[in-house]
């Protein structure tokens, strides 16, 4: 088993420095422009593909690192550059994780390459789970998937919302209800191939932050996909549903063990990565604030000479480092097959996301009036940081998950 260490190896350090250079030289100079335009930064994504950052090979190398640290390291560096552009670069990864978490080896080999394309023909993918009335409450999902046995096709109908790359993606991974009586246990994930009739983009959202990342509704109107597009296959689905029905017959479902949920399996795998994104944004804002505090003078001395400023920076750096440690622990546990018995994945996402909000707010305050203007990046970083406590499980949901794990009580 790979032992936990805080030291990156030589290969990891080289990749980190390479990513940092790309973030500094390519992402940051473009950040303000694409935030204002509120459009997908295709030139930056294409440049990332050209140098090998936006590619299946790079993603696979980082994902299968036995230490588990390469993915959070990658996320931290790219999001240090800019959260909106970075999300446009890594957003396809959530759909890829959905396939890895729920699909067969054949499905992984078939669909994930199509999600990325190649430098000459860049592709995108979208993971579609949330709905207008089903965000944190996945049991309220209404998008249906009905099996047409005669044609061996699944028919999908419904509306998804808050989908990164939704509608503009080449490949969509859609979570849908296959058995309404089983609630969240009656869900399954489906691949919707490129140019499938019936799938369209609904409303594109104008957002508070991460504005360079495309977020939209996805409308499914009689979308037909072949049977092989059910992630995991029908036999596996039927077996899982049978177990869920058996549990439902027993006393409040006790004694049957945990039944996997298609959307939750994806989020469990990705929460530490979201924590790493938050660490990158927090670190970026902290560095701007530290530089400003050491160069900005008031009353004849740098403002960092004041305890009110210095202590804020000390607290910020402490929370950033603590967040990174929680993220690395969870990432290492996931890579080495250790169960999150105390909801360590949720812990990392909760603490890091709230750290990003706090640190970016402190950075705005330290810069004063300058921090409130778009001439300085901390205003954008503060807007971007708000998303981390919301997407892929709000802070309230993370606390619920942690409390349930610690107590064994189904807290509501």
Give the phi and the psi of residue 148 in degrees, each rounded to 5.
-100, 95
Catalytic sites, residue numbers: 392
> Is the pLDDT at 255 greater than 90, yes or no?
no
Q: What is the pTM of this model?
A: 0.91
> Is the pLDDT at 68 greater than 80, yes or no?
yes
Query: Which residues are within 8 A (CB) of 231 and not within 5 positions of it... i.e. 6 or more apart?
Result: 98, 99, 102, 103, 104, 107, 173, 188, 189, 190, 191, 262
pLDDT given for residue 252 in this prediction: 47
Q: Cα-atom radius of gyration of the chain, to the nearest Å? A: 22
306-331: per-residue pLDDT in tens? Answer: 999 999 999 999 999 999 999 999 99
105-143: per-residue pLDDT in tens? Answer: 999 999 999 999 999 999 999 999 999 887 666 778 999
180-202: per-residue pLDDT in tens? Answer: 988 888 999 999 999 999 999 99
Q: What is the Cβ-side half-sphere exposure of residue 70, based on CA atoms within 13 angstroms?
A: 19
Question: Do residues 193 and 172 touch, judged by C-beta distance below 8 A?
Answer: no
Q: 3: pLDDT confidence band, cut at 50, 70 and 90?
A: confident
Whole-angstrom Cα distance, residue 12 to residue 271? 21
Neighbour-count burial of 347, counting CB atoms closer than 10 A to its CB (0-12 exposed, 13-18 middle, 19+ buried): buried
Whole-angstrom Cα distance, residue 397 to residue 247? 24
pLDDT given for residue 270 in this prediction: 78
Please name each of the domains of the chain with its CATH number.
10-122 (1.10.540.10), 125-253 (2.40.110.10), 262-407 (1.20.140.10)
Region 378-382: what's the mean pLDDT? 98
Question: Do residues 196 and 255 touch, judged by C-beta distance below 8 A?
Answer: no
Whole-angstrom Cα distance, residue 92 to residue 96? 6
Widest Cα–Cα separation across the chain: 82
233-242: per-residue pLDDT in tens? Answer: 999 999 999 9
Higher pLDDT, 376 or 299: 376
């Amino acid at each position: 088993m790979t032992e936990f260490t805080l030291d990156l190896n030589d290969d990891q350090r080289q990749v980190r420095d390479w990513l940092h250079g790309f973030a500094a030289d390519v992402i940051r100079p473009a950040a303000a422009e694409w935030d204002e335009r509120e459009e997908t930064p295709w030139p930056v994504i294409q440049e990332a593909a050209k140098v090998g950052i936006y590619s299946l090979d790079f993603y696979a190398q980082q994902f299968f690192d036995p230490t588990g640290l390469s993915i959070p390291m990658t996320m931290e560096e790219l999001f240090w550059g800019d959260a909106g552009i970075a999300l446009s670069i890594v957003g396809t990864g959530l759909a890829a994780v959905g396939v890895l978490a729920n699909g067969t080896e054949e499905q992984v080999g078939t669909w994930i390459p199509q999600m990325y394309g190649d430098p000459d023909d860049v592709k995108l993918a979208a993971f579609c789970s949330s709905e207008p009335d089903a965000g944190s409450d996945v049991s309220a999902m209404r998008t249906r998937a009905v099996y047409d046995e005669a044609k061996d096709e699944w028919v999908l109908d419904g509306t998804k919302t808050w989908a990164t790359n939704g509608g503009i993606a080449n490949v969509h991974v859609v979570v849908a209800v296959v058995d309404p009586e089983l609630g969240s246990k009656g869900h399954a994930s489906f691949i919707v191939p490129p140019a499938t009739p019936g799938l369209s983009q609904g409303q594109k959202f104008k957002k508070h932050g991460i504005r360079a990342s495309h977020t939209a509704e996805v409308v499914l109107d009689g979308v037909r996909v072949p049977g092989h597009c059910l992630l995991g296959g029908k036999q596996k689905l039927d077996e899982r549903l049978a177990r869920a029905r058996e549990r439902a017959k027993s006393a409040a479902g006790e004694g049957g063990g945990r039944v996997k949920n298609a959307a939750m399996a994806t989020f469990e795998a990705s929460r530490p990565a979201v924590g790493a994104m938050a660490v990158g944004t927090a670190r970026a804002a902290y560095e701007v604030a530290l530089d400003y505090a050491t160069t900005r003078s008031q009353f004849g001395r740098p403002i960092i000479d004041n305890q009110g400023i210095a202590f804020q920076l000390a607290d910020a750096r402490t929370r950033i480092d603590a967040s990174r440690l929680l993220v690395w622990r969870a990432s290492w546990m996931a890579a080495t097959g250790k169960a999150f018995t105390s909801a360590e994945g949720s812990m990392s996402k909760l603490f890091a996301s709230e750290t990003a909000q706090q640190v970016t707010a402190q950075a705005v305050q330290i810069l004063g009036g300058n921090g409130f203007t778009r001439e300085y990046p901390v205003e954008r970083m503060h807007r971007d940081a708000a998303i981390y406590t919301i997407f892929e499980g709000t802070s309230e949901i993370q606390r619920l998950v942690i409390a349930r794990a610690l107590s064994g009580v189904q807290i509501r």
